[in-house]
Amino acid sequence: MAHEPKARMTNPAYVLPDAGAAIMDLVKAARQGGVPESTLELVHLRASQINNCGFCVDFGAKSARKNGVGDEKLFAVAAWRETPYFSDEERAALALAEAATRLADASDAVPDAIWDAAADHYDEKQLASIVLMVAITNLFNRINVTVRQPAGVAL
């Protein structure tokens, strides 16, 4: 019999509606930097995988597919370095997303080499978009993991 997961509490973005509205305004702003939606979706999905956020991985994979990300990329995003499916631009964005998500893993969490590779492919506005998307994703992940928001359950 399938286990029906249940959240510990109502998602804080709904308990405090102004917070939810502010977060969604940030999401909207992050999407205005000129980065392809598919790339932002991959960034969101990869950060969510790292943070073990089942809700965001499930939601992110579905959203990525709606935004044109094919199955090859969806199935391989966790191992993007070892697959041929990603463009140089996507690889730079994914590397930046991973570094910015794993801040505690190294004293120089986002080394110049990773930043410079991203800056070779994206202008300042686009970099701002990617950095904001990573930060917002990490916010979502921390909320959803803490309250144990179940995957596949509508909020």
Task: Give the separation between CA 48 and CA 135, rounded to whole angstroms.
Answer: 11
State the pTM of this model: 0.94
Residue 76: per-residue pLDDT: 98
User: Could you report the per-residue pLDDT of 111-148, keeping only the tens digit for each?
Assistant: 999 999 999 999 999 999 999 999 999 999 999 999 99
pLDDT in tens, 2-41: 677 899 999 999 999 999 999 999 999 999 999 999 999 9
Residues whose CB is less than 8 angstroms from the CB of residue 147 and which lie 6 or more positions away in sequence, other chains included: 7, 8, 9, 11, 12
Rounded Cα distance, 109 and 93, in Å: 15
> 130 near 97, Cβ under 8 Å?
yes
Domain 16-147 superfamily per CATH: AhpD-like (1.20.1290.10)
Give the separation between CA 94 and CA 45, rounded to whole angstroms. 10
**What integer pLDDT is reported at residue 4 of this predicted model?**
73
Checking if the pLDDT of 153 tops 90, the result is no
| Domain definitions of the chain by residue range | 16-147
Using 50, 70 and 90 to split pLDDT, how confident is the model at 1?
A: low
Confidence of residue 154 (pLDDT cuts 50, 70, 90): confident
